[in-house]
Amino acid sequence: MKEFRSDTHRQLPSFLGQGAWSVMGILNVTPDSFHDQGRYGQFYAAVERARQMAAEGAAIIDVGGESTRPGSGPVTLEDELGRVIPVIEAVIPEIDVPVSIDTSKAEVARAGLAAGARIINDVTALRGDAEMASVAAEAGCPVCLMHMLGEPRTMQLEPHYEDVVNDIKKFFGERIDYAVSQGIQRQSLVLDPGIGFGKTIEHNLEIIRRLGEFLELGLPLMIGASRKRFIGMVTGEEDTEDRLPGTLAATVMAFVNGAGVFRVHDVAENVQALKVAAAIDKDTNG
């Protein structure tokens, strides 16, 4: 029988305090998000959604103004700033949980932090903008480093790995060393293996199955599997609206296998699933 990992192996970022898990609520203020499809692109809808997610138990609200769905292209600096900064400025006084800025542009990160965001979530793991590391180091803020093979426009064109988990671990080792060399504190890093970012269905399932191997790096793990295509490929559900049950299964299995932070669209449902999984996990481990 598989041995469950105890909470002593699973880590949370230090700024979130004690606990076995936390949920990061996704707030896409874009017109072309793969799931939200622009429903929170309007200012007032975005602010209200942030309030709702905080009330539902989100420990972080992740605000992003550039879609990274497969096949998407970049947006201009001006457009991204215009989407996210007003929302961050409005959300900060309304909620009592930290806001993260989901961007690969250093200027957007700098402006987001100035507006009150406390975390940088960079899907390029500090590779997309040469200035990003210095922005994070100067701010002394936590940074989420995500693995992506290629770029959103091309990442799903026949992705290949020798061993997907080992290859990503090597990537993380390099990015951790780089971040630290640039003045970012190692303990402020969070690792995201990038479900769906240059991976086949088999790669995604293997990553979740073998999450425990990433724990050897000694840093918290974040998983963003919410409503993604691999869930539809497993279940046959083509519409993202029908992938919530599969998302909850992925969340629970990722928790069991060592993840501590879960980036999701549906906060209330994932919080409930994690509460039950954590209670069972605690009982299992005595």
Active-site positions read 228, 263
Cβ neighbours of 257 (radius 10 Å):
22
Torsion-angle region of 139 (φ positive above 0: left; ψ -120 to 50: alpha; else: beta):
alpha
β-bridge partners, 223:
262
Tokens of 161: 């790995």
Nearest Cα residue to 146 out of 285, 263, 3: 263
Residue by residue, DSSP assigns 194-246 as -TTSS--HHHHHHHHHTGGGGGGG-S-BEE--TT-HHHHHHH---SGGG-HHH
The two three-digit tokens of residue 102, written as one number? 């989901």
Mind giving me the DSSP string for 103-123?
-S-HHHHHHHHHTT--EEEET
* Own/partner long-range contacts of 174-179 (Cβ < 8 Å, ≥24 apart): 175/125, 175/126, 175/127, 175/145, 176/145, 176/217, 176/219, 178/126, 178/133, 179/126, 179/133, 179/136, 179/143, 179/145
Q: Name the residue type at position 107.
A: E
